Amino acid sequence: MAMAGGIMTGEIETMTSEIRKRAEEVITRCRKLATFSEDHESTRRTFLSPPMRDCHREIARWMEPLGIPVRADAAGNLRASYAAAQPGAPSLLVGSHLDTVPNAGAYDGVLGVALAVSLLESLRGRRLPFGIEVVGFSEEEGVRFGVPFIGSRALVGRLDEELLNVQDGRGISVRKAIEEFGLNPAEIPQARLNQAGENTEYFGYIEFHIEQGPVLEELGQPLAVVESIAGQSRLEFTFLGRSNHAGTTPMHLRYDALAAAAEWITAVEGLARSKTGLVATVGKIEAKPGATNVIAGETRLTLDVRHGSDEIRIQAVKDLVEQAQEIAGRRGLTARWNTLLEQRAVAMDPFLVAEIERAIGKTGSTPHRMVSGAGHDAMILAEKIPAAMIFLRTPGGISHDPAESLAVEDVKKAIECGLHLLDQLAASFTASSSKLLRP
């Protein structure tokens, strides 16, 4: 049973009709935000572009009936605080990012903000033992500056001078973009979480997000809790052989770099299929000289490897490097490689994961834990505070595309899950200390 100021499970059940209406409104709101775009016939909203200002205004309009002021911190993150029952109580962050990729769908990122607002509306003025702060991150995708997570980096103190000086394709730096949005880069340190002497302490971060994949649809489940965000390795491989005439060089005398690369690509797929949870992708290939009647003397490929276990991922990369060497050596070629990115896996907070799992069960759904193959703001916030994520089923597994969609019933389940979660967290607070009780 929830403490005073919380939400009773039975009360959530009586709100079924209201919650469905809120779910429909969440979808409508996401579609409205999709109209704020830098492009006329598709959605593209990058870091502190003019449409981001429209986005902030629209979300502020949602907040007006709740009497919650909306502000932008110095990194352009939208911040809106719902007060706790008692002054000085810690707060829970709930949100996601507001920027998009080019030709985006309507739900990636913004869904987490729209759901956060819907949860506040569903409280109907009730105050909990903790505050709730809605956050809409200014940048997660890395589209404008080639660097992702600018918004959440500010909250953990990693929006430094080097990053502020990074420039976009027009020569505008992150610092200049912040200034042109009417914000002061000198105030970025004030956006950090849990600084000594600050008024608000943050005890956790929750992010609702579309799954961006087909797993939940295959399982027939609306929701899942993310237990970790996969680590990632990105490499570039080059097979070096010898170019020669395609018509006059016998097959047994060829040193075909493209044929070697093709054999290795098959090996990449085979290794990934043999290990549960491992995904490996060759996403780009370039053969030189690139003529129809010339044997390729050089072929370059990219490799992307991801897994929830760093040990498994690192071993897979090692195995694929060895296979590239073996294939090249057997064919009389040379294989070279260099690492472009090494990103460790990030575990979500075990307590919050367990609480979300309980909350999903209370909606009548079967709880499911999964690894996120994509990066999210939660992995950045996890450096500073406990973080966890809730995935919603993505019909067709389609994301980062205008065909991205959501089912109203799944959004309804997400709202129910969120309310149960708030109820559970409220029950975990002690009245005397306003501290979250963890096992």
The per-residue pLDDT string of the chain (439 residues; one tens digit each, 9 = 90 and over) reads 334 344 556 666 667 889 999 999 999 999 999 999 999 999 999 999 999 999 999 999 999 999 999 999 999 999 999 999 999 899 999 999 999 999 999 999 999 999 999 999 999 999 999 999 999 999 999 999 999 999 999 999 999 999 999 999 999 999 999 999 999 999 999 999 987 556 679 999 999 999 999 999 999 999 999 999 999 999 999 999 999 999 999 999 999 999 999 999 999 999 999 999 999 999 999 999 999 999 999 999 999 999 999 999 999 999 999 999 999 999 999 999 999 889 899 999 999 999 999 999 999 999 999 999 999 999 999 999 999 999 999 999 999 999 999 999 999 999 999 999 999 999 998 644 556 666 6
Contact by Cβ (8 Å): 86, 128 = no
Fold classified for 231-343: Alpha-Beta Plaits (3.30.70)
Hey, what's the torsion of the CAs at 172, 176, 180, 182, to 10 degrees? 160
Q: Strand pairing partners for 173?
A: 167
What kind and span of H or E run contains 91? strand 91-97
pLDDT of residue 305: 97
pLDDT of residue 436: 67
Give 157-164's long-range contacts (Cβ < 8 A, gap of 24+): 157/189, 157/192, 157/384, 158/380, 158/383, 159/75, 159/188, 159/191, 164/188
pLDDT of residue 3: 40
Distance CA 376, CA 363 (A): 25
Retrieve residue 401's tokens: 């595309």
Fold classified for 9-229+345-427: Aminopeptidase (3.40.630)
Helix (H, G, I), strand (E, B) or coil at 371: strand
Domain with CATH 3.40.630.10 in the chain: 9-229+345-427
Q: What percentage of the chain carries pLDDT values higher than 90? A: 90
Domain with CATH 3.30.70.360 in the chain: 231-343
Query: Which residue, among 26, 65, 147, 62, has the nearest Cα to 418 in the 3D structure?
Result: 26
**What is the pTM (predicted TM-score) of this model?**
0.87
Distance CA 36, CA 54 (A): 7
Q: Where are the alpha helices (DSSP H) in 277-338?
A: 310-330
Distance CA 405, CA 67 (A): 31
Contact by Cβ (8 Å): 368, 216 = yes
Distance CA 428, CA 415 (A): 20
pLDDT in tens, 11-52: 666 678 899 999 999 999 999 999 999 999 999 999 999 999
pLDDT in tens, 53-101: 999 999 999 999 999 999 999 999 999 999 999 998 999 999 999 999 9
CA of residue 150 relative to chain centroid, distance: 13
